[in-house]
A and B are shown apart, each in its own frame.
Chain A
Amino acid sequence: MKLFRLIAWKEFQHLRSDKAALRLLFIMPMVQLMVLGYALTTEVKNTPYAVIDRCNCPASASLLASVSSSPLFQFQGFAHSESELRTWMDQGRIRIALLIPPDFSDKLESRLQITPAGLPKGDGVPVGIWVDGQDASSSGTARGYLSAILDQWSQQRLANRLHAQGRELRDLLPFHIDTRIAFNPLLESSWYMVPGIAVILITMVTSLLTGFSIVREKEAGTLEQLLVTPIKPIHIVLGKAFPFFIIGIVELFLALGIAKFWFGIPFLGNYLVLLLFCAIYMLSSLGIGILTSTVVRTMQQALFLIWFFLIFFLLLSGFFLPVENMPGWVQGLTHINPVRYFMQVLRSMFLKGSGIQDLWREALSMLAIGVIVFGSAVSLFHRKSG
């Protein structure tokens, strides 16, 4: 125990003697959090679009006005032909296009010939949308927004016509929708992403730094010099992990402060429960660092191996992509991913104020993974160090 403290003291001294690195250790993640908190948004805004208006009539002008007044789309110009439109799309100038046929106005008028006795005559007006499908997810969203704007415009036309006849569209519709949004009423992307970024920062800092600090001593030969003293390998490894455990907790609470006071994201959970969950989680992240350090010889190998694991853990954590969307066998894999659980824990503690009664399954899963990873890391270190 005394020797564990000595090693922990030594590690803190290393951190203290490298003031530049220490500053970076806290400033860099915070800068990342502030920048990425804005950048990582799932919202689709300012989609550039172009139009071919072959009708060039008051009706098409009104339709186009409803699109251009939306902040979701940014008008890039009128194209004169489909090949011109295609060129723009090839050049990346536009991501979506709207095509209005020459008979738009006529067909629309005949379609709106509604009398109290009869249904409208003629076909619906064909309006074309062209989508750049490279980025499937945001193009899909943009297409949905554009269809919704067009639908709303045509509904409005219909409603006006009915109103003139003394009828109301909403009385004719079979239902109307009443939406209530829980936890994040304004659907702010940052409310969801910032807690997720915090998880990633803590994971990176604790696993990489712990791994590096052990491998650095391996490379310098100082680890062997420690091992030839009466200290037990377990004291070395625990003593070395301890400062990064503390740093992880400090970073979590710093991230929490930025989330709360910079982004205005409410944290509804309990701080002590968060501390407990964070401690359980760090068994895994510290364990990954230690485990890696036992199987590699150089910093380069350590960096490569830890990154290899982190990429998997992060992309399969539900950070960007919901786990529910993944194929069944990948979802199975995510059950052994500690980042997935902590991601879920932190997000629901933030916005839902979840406590132990809601999150005990995640806590137990993290604990099981943590004990296995940390335990095997420590025992492997012990075995390899003789």
Chain B
Amino acid sequence: MGFWAIHLDSMGWSIFLGIMFLFIFKKVANGVTTGVPSGLQNFVEMIVEFIDDTVKDTFGHKNPLVAPLALTIFVWVFLMNFMDLIPVDFIPYVAQAMGVGHMKVVPSTDPNITLGMSFSIFALILFYSFKMKGVSGFSKELALHPFNHWAMIPFNLTLELIGLFTKPISLALRLFGNMYAGEMIFILIALLPFWAQWTLSVPWAIFHILIITLQAFIFMVLTVVYLSMAHDTESH
């Protein structure tokens, strides 16, 4: 199939979850009241406020894109990770009954999904680095940092470029690795006889609630931190 193949299962679930997120949040935003918020609005506002606080704490510049970006990342990645908590065989079995042989229901266990997001973020990092620091400023930062001497330029450049490209790769692989390993353990647990599965799957699922939230949070915070670094204009 080559490069132009598309994983319809990951892609479909990913888009479905993203639309779910936007649908719920848009619904709340449409009926938003400044009075006492009802249950769903309260929940949504809690998340929005949490994101807003985190962004205000870590991102010291003015950019109207960052907070909505962080909100989208946090909720979307959380929802994609959350698919991990649905018992591993439920949806694939149903899909199989409907004639689809294989189905991956956790989009974040597909490196294409996590890389797709991290490369988009990488593009934003490059865009804002050039925009805020200018071509010369950004080049200087890459070439003259951490050792400010002309003879050290090749060394600096190697170090900084590796550091720069590591950002999206590590961002994507961290999420992918965590989710893939988690899903793999669920699959291994599912190999046990059905009456013994709960002894392992329940503790692991409870632990996984923490992991999926934490990974979504880390992905979001690192994105904000990287963008904040891209905005930092003062020379070190």
Partners in one complex: no
